[in-house]
């Protein structure tokens, strides 16, 4: 369970720049999940994360939603470190739909509030 930093501010209106900078994360273990990931996604850009089951695709989304803190590195949205914004404002800006092997996240999707339960598309 992550908590808001005492100095956390709401994430303002976002353009949608997402940067993973040297991000590592292993669910508390010593290694083997996300290792030194660098990724920049521009506003409006659509990307696909492709990999075998267990490669870490969902973990990337979990980190963007800050369900876990990075063990190393940081994630920025429009230059703001997500560890320094309130979790409510972060998640209000991210829409997630999961279904089987489909997982997408988009920024600025206020009309699709984040839902903790996987949503069936059909």
Ligand X SMILES: Nc1ncnc2c1ncn2[C@@H]1O[C@H](COP(=O)(O)OP(=O)(O)OP(=O)(O)O)[C@@H](O)[C@H]1O
Binds Mg ion by CB under 5 A, chosen from 2, 10, 39, 58: 58
Rg (CA), the chain: 14
Give ∠ CA 2-70-82 in degrees, rounded to 5.
65
Tokens 């720049």 sit at which residue?
Answer: 17
- Of 49, 64, 70, 121, nearest to 95 by C-alpha is 64
For 45, phi and psi rounded to 5 degrees? -75, 140
Minimum distance of Mg ion from residue 10's CB (angstroms): 29
Tokens 């980190």 sit at which residue?
Answer: 63
**Under rule CB under 5 A, residue 115 binds Mg ion:** no
**Under rule CB under 6 A, residue 55 binds ligand X:** yes
Scanning 48-56, 79-87, 88-96, 113-121 for contacts with ligand X by CB under 6 A, the matching segment is 48-56
**Residue 99's beta-bridge partner residues?**
102
Minimum distance of ligand X from residue 105's CB (angstroms): 12
Binds ligand X by CB under 6 A, chosen from 1, 53, 79, 102: 53
Q: Scan residues 82-111 and list those touching ligand X (CB under 6 A).
A: none
User: Residues interacting with ligand X, by CB under 6 A?
Assistant: 27, 33, 51, 53-59
């Amino acid at each position: 369970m992550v908590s808001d930093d005492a100095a956390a501010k709401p994430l303002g209106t976002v353009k949608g720049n997402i940067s993973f900078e040297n991000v590592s994360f292993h669910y508390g273990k010593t290694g083997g999940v996300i290792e030194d990931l660098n990724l920049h996604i521009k506003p409006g850009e659509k990307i696909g994360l492709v990999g075998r089951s267990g490669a870490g695709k969902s973990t990337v989304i979990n980190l963007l939603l800050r369900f876990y803190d990075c063990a190393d590195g940081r994630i920025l949205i429009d230059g703001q470190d997500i560890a320094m914004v309130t979790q409510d404002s972060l998640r209000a800006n991210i829409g997630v739909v999961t279904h089987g092997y489909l997982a997408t996240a988009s920024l600025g999707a206020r009309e699709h509030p984040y839902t903790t339960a996987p949503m069936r598309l059909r």
